[in-house]
Amino acid sequence: MSYLPHTADDVRRMFETIRLSGGPGDMESLFSGIPSECRLKRPLKIPVALDEMELESHIRELAGRNSSPASAVCFLGGGAYDHFVPAVVDQLAARGEFFTSYTPYQAEASQGNLQVYFEYQSLMTTLTGMEVSNMSLYDGASAAAEAVLMALSVTPRKKVVLSASAHPEYRQVVETYLANLGVETVIAACPSGVLQPQDLVQVVDDQTACVLLQQPNFFGCIEQLSALTKVAHAAGALAVVAVDPVSLGLLKRPGDCGADIVVAEGQGLGNHLAYGGPYLGILACRESFVRRMPGRLTGQTLDRRGNRCWVLTLQTREQHIRREKATSNVCTNQGLLALRSSIHLAVLGPQGLREVAESCLAKASYAHRRLLDGQRLSARFDQPFFKEFVVRDPQSRPNELVAELLSAGYLAGVPLGRWYPELDDCLLVAVTERRTRAEIDGLALAINSLFVSSSPSHHNNHAKHSVHQSAF
């Protein structure tokens, strides 16, 4: 049985064993490949060991330093949202046969998992309006990058157009994937908050393999998706569309708007925020591209007795076929997260998803009005939106506003300056079905109070009032 060395004698015996097997015989030789200036020349400053009760108390104290939707009212968005997760999702997904299982290498022994994945694929194709879906990917960003690689494999072209209104981190991941492939990437500007079809015409040409769009876009605005996909197709390019799956309870399906490949982040479908992951990458496409699709595909068939069963229909993995023929480096799928999304959608049904989407739209519209009622914030874009919108704060940097509001109990939004220097005074605010009128009013009141307390006239009035009280 292997063990970690505890004493100097243990270390000496370990190195003697290594020396006899032909390896380095002392610590100095072991680390000879590491430059001296990169080595720590003192013992690690590790405190004494804690007993179990002390350790639990210490970990609780560390965890208590986090701010989360459990401790503050959440208006964060930008790809991860505080949606309600029904208890049935947690209960069913935690069953041992799902919670402890892994990728179904042996289909005959994984019928339960494969059925779940088949149902997931069926739900995703219905939701997106596409013809085929894979068994899921890692997250929305990697799904977008895989979709772009698909488009490049379908056409011999070497140019990709990325809308500036698509998630900036999706674009960064795409550019990372393409960095050494000799592919030109072009950003289509969106100064009005949406990509205008006439602006897209200026950047697509006969060398463009695909255009990456987002609906609703990163700013929460509704794009002219059908018009944009027509521009892409007119140039012979594919339309890759990233969507918010919750919005599809109201918005026209991307497949019905001309999308060729649809990707999404599935976190909002039954998956908790979980401090940033793990999340779920959704990818669906037209059937003609199925052999270019990354990951796995589950199919339904009959066994020799005529019973319904499920199989792995496609596995485009480099472990299974020649590496130069592989369409992806995806090694597994987010099966547990896909299961949660399947349960969530099955519980909601079409009407339930529509009601969630309607609630998000109504509450975001109300929050937009309330935040603009005060004297501090203004609207940055004059575009229709779904559940997110951008407000401008001319009084201070959004980072400062967010920090002040956190102390008041609100996770107020996402500052945009880190990705868009021209929006350095702007904040992205998301409102899901979980937010109440009282919480929205509370945020508006907190922002207005900060404005009043920081205005010069308020300070002068406060000073006069204080003098008057002292005289009295």
In this structure, how many other beta carbons lie within 10 angstroms of the beta carbon of residue 293?
A: 24
Q: What is the pLDDT of residue 461?
A: 42
Binned at pLDDT 50, 70 and 90, residue 87 comes out as: very high
Residues 97-131 have pLDDT tens digits of 888 877 776 767 788 889 999 999 999 999 999 99
What's the average model confidence in pLDDT over 252-259? 98
Residue 343 falls in which region: left (phi positive, over 0), alpha (psi -120 to 50) or beta: alpha
Which pairs count as long-range contacts for 169-173, CB under 8 Å and 24+ apart, including other chains?
Answer: 169/79, 169/141, 169/419, 170/140, 170/141, 170/144, 170/145, 170/212, 170/214, 170/242, 171/212, 172/141, 173/141, 173/142, 173/144, 173/145
Of the candidates 220, 210, 337, which has an alpha carbon nearest to the alpha carbon of residue 272? 337
Residues 313-372 have pLDDT tens digits of 877 554 555 566 666 767 777 889 999 999 999 999 999 999 999 999 999 999 999 999
Q: What is the largest CA-CA distance in the chain?
A: 98
Query: How many percent of the chain have pLDDT more than 90?
Result: 69
Residues 292-314 have pLDDT tens digits of 898 888 999 998 999 999 988 87
d(CA 76, CA 82): 8
Its pTM stands at 0.85
d(CA 324, CA 311): 25
Paired strand residues for 263: 242, 283
Q: What is the pLDDT of residue 125?
A: 98
Q: At residue 251, what are phi and psi to the nearest 5 degrees?
A: -80, 160
Domain boundaries, the chain: 75-79+350-458, 87-345
- Topology given in CATH for the domain delimited by 75-79+350-458: Aspartate Aminotransferase, domain 1 (3.90.1150)
Paired strand residues for 302: 308
- Topology given in CATH for the domain delimited by 87-345: Aspartate Aminotransferase; domain 2 (3.40.640)
Higher-pLDDT residue of 210 and 113 is 210
Q: Residues 105, 107, 111, 117: is their CA dihedral positive or negative? A: positive
Q: Are strands 261-265 and 238-243 parallel, antiparallel or unpaired?
A: parallel
Q: What is the mean pLDDT of the chain?
A: 89
